[in-house]
Amino acid sequence: MYPEIQPYKHGYLDTGDGHKVYWELSGNPQGKPTIFLHGGPGGGCSPTHRRLFDPAVYNILLFDQRGCGRSTPHASLENNTTWHLVADIERLRKEVLKTEKLQVFGGSWGSTLALAYAETHPERVSELIVRGIFTLRQEELHWFYQEGASWLFPDLWEGFLAPIPDAERGDLINAYHRRLTGTDRAEQIKAAHAWTRWESHTITLLPSASHVQALSADDTALAFARIENHYFVNKGFMDEGQLIRDAHKLAGIPGVIVQGRYDACTPARTAWDLHKAWPQAEFQLIQDAGHAFDEPGILARLIAATDQFRT
């Protein structure tokens, strides 16, 4: 990865409907504009994400999506949909980067948001780099939160089931929604930790203590679980299969799709479907990787992609 850097500018975007979205710029102020879209939803950005881009070449915009990270109000679900976030990106493009076009980079949920933005504003995207492809189709949600990945991780699955009584286990996403949006703070925190532990323990090919630790604090876990679950209950606020259906709108955008072969969180089938619908993009299936962006094979290919598009 590129060396650690500090932002040269940061601030808050007042959305006008109750949110203040934290943003930061780092790298070269006169450089090529790029925006990094974090996962979750609800995950927030980290300083590590700045290091995916050559700081001598890129003007790097990171932002914490509504309700998470340094954005306020914390863990808020009000006015928090895919299309609110697409509008936030467009305002950040115009008001912060002040550019006609920008490179868009997103992984996991960030790939969902990147595709939603690029399909809405294809004329604004210079290149599109997506990783760990996730489009919120019902079968994708069912795989990870109901039946599928549980067959690979039966020991970890027991922890995910633990907060939910047997009678409610036929629809776990909605059962968690009731607890994460309830009024009992202790039950909220218990559910949030069970939700985040399931994801943080299963996103890498081999166990990773750093990914588990990243979501261990109560407030971080609550924002992540509440916002993520809110989006999943509402199917991403999109039509079923919308992002694959509309991938033809990406035809004029240079792109790279990076996917781990053994991704148990967002299985390779979705990345393959996107590849078939957007054949103009370079497709990279990493044979020794799971889901996380910092697994060696995935990380190497992501940095190669940002280097490829430097000029």
Pairing relationship of beta strands 102-107 and 255-260 according to DSSP bridges: unpaired
Whether 177 and 249 map to the same domain: the answer is no
Whole-number percent of the chain with pLDDT over 70: 99
Whether 45 and 194 map to the same domain: the answer is no
- Above 80 in pLDDT, residue 235? yes
> What pLDDT band is residue 162 in, cutting at 50, 70 and 90?
very high
- Above 80 in pLDDT, residue 209? no
At 288, list the tokens. 């020794």
Whole-number percent of the chain with pLDDT over 90: 96
Residue 11 lies in a domain: yes
Residue pLDDT, tens place only, 57-109:
999 999 999 999 999 999 999 999 999 999 999 999 999 999 999 999 999 99
Whether 143 and 19 map to the same domain: the answer is no
Please give the Cα distance from 170 to 80 (Å, whole number): 27
Known catalytic membership, residue 275:
no
Nearest Cα to 11, choosing from 87, 97, 129? 97
Mean pLDDT on 121-137? 98
pLDDT of residue 146: 98
In the chain, which residue ranges form alpha helices assigned H by DSSP? 82-92, 109-120, 138-145, 154-161, 172-180, 185-200, 209-214, 218-233, 242-245, 268-277, 296-308
At 47, list the tokens. 């300083």
Sequential DSSP letters for 185-232: HHHHHHHHHHHHHHHHTTSSSS--HHHHHHT-SHHHHHHHHHHHHHHH
- Above 90 in pLDDT, residue 37? yes
Whether 78 and 98 map to the same domain: the answer is yes
Instruction: Read off the CATH number of the domain in which 281 is found.
Output: 3.40.50.1820
> What pLDDT band is residue 214 in, cutting at 50, 70 and 90?
low
With residue 60 as reference, give the H or E element that holds it.
strand 58-63
pLDDT of residue 212: 63
Provide the phi-psi class of 78: left if phi over 0, else alpha when psi is between -120 and 50, else beta: beta
pLDDT of residue 169: 98
Q: Which residues contact 206 (CB under 8 A, 6 or more apart)?
A: none
Residue 178 lies in a domain: yes
- Above 70 in pLDDT, residue 29? yes
Known catalytic membership, residue 230:
no
Q: Which of 19, 193, 230, 291 is catalytic?
A: 291
- Above 90 in pLDDT, residue 284? yes
Residue 14 lies in a domain: yes
Whether 170 and 58 map to the same domain: the answer is no
- Above 70 in pLDDT, residue 253? yes
Mean pLDDT on 259-265? 98
pLDDT of residue 81: 98
With residue 143 as reference, give the H or E element that holds it.
helix 138-145
Q: Which amino acid is at 133?
A: I
> What pLDDT band is residue 123 in, cutting at 50, 70 and 90?
very high
CB-CB contact of 149 with 266 (8 Å): no
Residue 115 lies in a domain: yes
Known catalytic membership, residue 108:
yes
Q: Which of 88, 230, 263, 275 is catalytic?
A: 263
Number of domains in the chain: 2
Domain of 15? 7-136+237-309
Which of 198, 217, 236 finishes a domain? 236
> What pLDDT band is residue 181 in, cutting at 50, 70 and 90?
very high
What single-letter DSSP state applies at residue 72? Answer: B
Q: Which of 71, 108, 111, 150 is catalytic?
A: 108
Whether 115 and 177 map to the same domain: the answer is no
Whether 124 and 252 map to the same domain: the answer is yes
Which of 236, 269, 295 finishes a domain? 236
Instruction: Write down the residue that tokens 């595709």 correspond to.
Output: 115
Whether 148 and 125 map to the same domain: the answer is no
Residue 2 lies in a domain: no
pLDDT of residue 207: 83
Residue pLDDT, tens place only, 50-69:
999 999 999 999 999 999 99
Residue 85 lies in a domain: yes
Whether 289 and 146 map to the same domain: the answer is no
Please give the Cα distance from 138 to 26 (Å, whole number): 37
> Minimum mean pLDDT among 23-27, 131-135, 206-210: which range?
206-210
Mean pLDDT on 208-234? 88
Which of 215, 236, 257 finishes a domain? 236
Mean pLDDT on 193-206? 95
pLDDT of residue 93: 98
- Above 80 in pLDDT, residue 211? no
pLDDT of residue 231: 98
Whether 29 and 178 map to the same domain: the answer is no
> What pLDDT band is residue 251 in, cutting at 50, 70 and 90?
very high
